[in-house]
Amino acid sequence: MDAPTLRRWFAEEQFPQIEEELRKAGESPAFRVFWARLYMVRGREADAFRILESSEANPDSILVAQQLANYLRCVELQSKKDHSPELGFLKDRFGVTPENVGIKISACLIVKDEEECLGRCLESLKGAVDEIVVVDTGSKDRTVEIAQSYGAVMGTFEWCNDFSAARNASLELATGNWILWIDADEVLDPGSARAFQRAVTRPQFGGFNIQIINYTEKDSEYSVFEHHPIRLFRNLPSVRFTGKVHEQIVHGLQALELPGATLEGATIHHYGYTSEMMEAKGKIDRTITLLEHEVRNQPEEAFHWFNLCNTLYCAERWAESEHAGRQCVQRLRENDPYGAMCYQLLTGAMIAQGKLDVAIEFCDQATARGYGGILVEYERANAYLKMGDGAGCLAALEKCGVDQWPEGMTGDRSIVEYKRNIIKGQALALLGRYDEALAELDFALAKVPNYGPALYSRAATLEKKGDTFEAYEAFLKARSDAGILALATKGAARTALALGILQAAAKLFKEAWEADPDDYGCWVGWTEAATAWGDTESILLAYEAFVKHHEPTNEVLINWGRALAEAGQDERALTCFTEVIKRDPTQANAYFNCGDLLYRNGAFSDAAHLYETGLRVNPNHADGWFMMGNALAQMNLDEGAKLAYRQALQINPSHAGVLNNLEVIAA
């Protein structure tokens, strides 16, 4: 280890590696000043000053002295405490005085039509910042009026599909020494102001990573995605945003070799990722368009591919998300902070397409490259569950290995909060361990009572366990989630039918089929429940609805004809039967049903002819011979009737109708 290497590591922010090497060097005077530099990035300014007290002036010690002078001036501004002796020492020994530093914070926002949420955001900034800058990009609601009511410095920007350009316009209006980057659909946590006070006294840092809690479900504090971008940073002329979308400030700070740090105690709550907000503002389509532009212009930039993968995943465009994810992982650098999440999105997109084996292969790849852990093992568990491998799923969940979300980790914190409990419950149910499964699902529902997938899984587990009535009620409750409405309705219909609640079963199957007209099983359930209930009107409605969406099969036409015949609509019934015969002259049931209709209407000769034709196709149909005999008997052709009845008895010797009618003819 030498001084140039240490300087390079400081520029690369390799602080753990620096500390390890310095510890190996022991008390070597040659490296003491590097301890001072390390103390500055650890926030231990008093220890850094102590080292400088016994150090001589050289480029490395002067750098630390300048950082300390800036720090002490900011502390003076905040606490009003005099640090003249320390500043005098730094000037005398190292020739440094405080630079143009300060503690004023400007909150900068870009907005458009944000009247519903802007007031809440600006209210949260009171007492935490000194100035609010709002740049409007074309609002047509009360956004500008609301911003002005909070005393904001106002600016306008003609939107050009470039978020960085708009944000940089807000920086030009800011007079603070520090910038807080925040959006209108975000709220600063009340405890953040005190953390800001600590941060702005430390200009040795270019910026601070702040915890962002993104709420992904309405009215749920547990459905969250967490990340930690730089949101509080020094206002310096060369520090500007880059990227048309998912803009970043970090590149300008890196060029100045100003390190970043995590600001403990500061949190921003973001409500713009709920499905309602995303749909209302068309965020997904707009973001995809901008990101596609970015990857065309910078195809080797992994971060752009990651963001595109993520946005396509949210849009459930699985194949495109997979493609973007593959592009990203090919370009990942060592220890990229979004690497694990990219692998999670990539494997999740594969699972959604049924590529389960490939998804597991990529989980292995992620682990081999150092991107394994909670996110990847969660998707591995999902893949095994879809394969029907409950044991494999449980083993993957065990590898997640934590009870709480790791501090500073980026990703879907809901996995630890409750989602893995749902997956575990499903795996346990798959293994027949129903009581354990219900315990896991109840744990999840205690945190997210209206979360559809958990409600549905609980209902399905109760159904498998045999608690049919409880399952029926649970399926009805699960219908409150629009995302699984059709699935939950089908489950409720299925259990209602099993319980003999026929009217409800018919209604529920009807609703489930209307939600998904391609689900033939739901339509069959509708007709079966209506038939068992004896509701002719509902039965006929089911057939009328079916033919509006699908070309009826021969089987459907025959059953429809029977229902029409029972309803007394003989002409329409006859049309159904003759259509089947026209399509396929080998359909014996069509002849028999058509014959039954004519027989009932007294057309015995025509009926006998149809029975005869049907029996040529299917001579082993006892009822066909029985009805043929009846038609002949009605025409007083008793010998012919006897022959038909005897043929029926050869097929079914115990046919009660045949035996009775033979006695009648014999008498």
The per-residue DSSP string of 420-438 comes to HHHHHHHHHHHTT-HHHHH
pLDDT at site 166: 96
For residue 129, pLDDT over 60 is answered with: yes
Alpha-carbon separation of residue 169 from 163, 236, 375, 481 (angstroms): 10, 14, 37, 42
Could you give the percent of the chain with pLDDT greater than 90?
81
Q: Are 233 and 181 in contact (CB under 8 A)?
A: yes
Note whether 400 and 432 are within 8 A (CB). no
pLDDT at position 274 is: 56
For residues 620-649, give the mean pLDDT: 94
What's residue 249's pLDDT? Answer: 93
pLDDT confidence tier of residue 279, bands split at 50, 70 and 90: low
Q: Which of 389, 397, 455, 452 is nearest to 423 (CA)?
A: 397
- pLDDT 10s digits, 295-343: 999 999 999 999 999 999 988 999 999 999 999 999 999 888 889 999 9
Q: Give me the pLDDT at residue 47, please.
A: 95
Helix, coil or strand: residue 125:
coil
pLDDT tens figures, 281-293: 567 888 899 999 9
**Distance (Å, whole) CA 245 – CA 226:** 19
Stretch 76-83: mean pLDDT, rounded? Answer: 92
Q: Which tokens in the block code for residue 377? A: 């093992």
What is the pLDDT averaged over residues 167-188? 97
User: How high is the pLDDT of residue 215?
Assistant: 85
Proportion of the chain above pLDDT 70, given as a percent: 97
- Are the beta carbons of 352 and 332 closer than 8 angstroms? no
Residue 110: enclosing H or E segment and its boundaries? strand 105-111
Mean pLDDT computed over every residue of the chain: 92
Mean pLDDT value of segment 534-558: 93
Q: In the prediction, which pLDDT does 284 show?
A: 83
66 close to 37: Cβ distance less than 8 angstroms: no
pLDDT in tens, 440-471: 999 999 998 988 999 999 999 999 999 999 99
Over 70: is that where the pLDDT of 560 sits?
A: yes
In whole angstroms, give the CA distance from residue 461 to residue 435: 9
The helix (H) or strand (E) run that includes residue 334 is none
CB-based contact 516:523 (threshold 8 Å): no
Tokens 């699960």, located at residue: 478
Q: How far apart are CA 249 and CA 239, in angstroms?
A: 7
Average pLDDT over residues 153-168: 95
pLDDT grade for 666, boundaries at 50, 70 and 90: confident
Q: How confident is the model at residue 80 (pLDDT cuts 50, 70, 90)?
A: confident
One-letter amino acid at 276 equals E
pLDDT at 579 over 60: yes
Q: How confident is the model at residue 278 (pLDDT cuts 50, 70, 90)?
A: very low
> Can you give 567-591 as a three-state secondary structure string?
CCCHHHHHHHHHHHHHHCCCCHHHH
Distance of CA 181 to the CA centre of its chain: 26
> Residue 247 in 3-state DSSP?
coil
Overall average pLDDT of the 518-537 stretch: 92
Q: Provide the pLDDT for residue 403.
A: 67
| Dihedral sign from CA coordinates of 384, 386, 391, 393 | positive
Q: Which of 204-218, 345-359, 517-531, 552-566 has the lowest mean pLDDT?
A: 204-218
